[in-house]
Amino acid sequence: MPVYSLPKQSLPKLILSCTKSFEVIGPVQKENYLAYESIADPETLVLSGNTYVPAKPFFLPPREELFRFEDGAFITDRPAINQRIFIGIKLCDLNSIKKHDMLFVKEYQDQ
């Protein structure tokens, strides 16, 4: 597998070019903690420190509308799937996502 490196000063240019086609998500400074958010300005990206809020809600939202009823009709709108790029995601968040994948990939039989 080829390995590529990017000079740190080129990262803002890369992020700006990616935001044209993708939603770029990374750690940003909130009032007194770091959290993952969509990034429009590369200067808001903080690559040092640990995030207080995990990346999991981007993969498994706490609430998701699957269907609804309008005027007696059953409506199932499929939300648009955004293509995303994560920058600065920590290893603990990646391991958490991997664990969830293992749970959802296996067949589970209701009892």
pTM (two decimals): 0.76
> What is the per-residue pLDDT for 25?
94
Mean pLDDT throughout 6-23? 91
> What is the per-residue pLDDT for 81?
76
pLDDT digits (tens, 9 = 90+) for 43-94: 999 988 888 888 888 888 888 888 888 888 888 877 777 899 999 888 888 8
Alpha-carbon torsion (22, 37, 53, 58), positive or negative: negative
Concatenating the DSSP letter of every residue in 65-106 gives ---EEETTEEE-PPPPPPPEEE-S--HHHHHHHHHHHHHHHS
> What is the per-residue pLDDT for 24?
95
Task: Name the 3-class secondary structure at 34.
Answer: strand
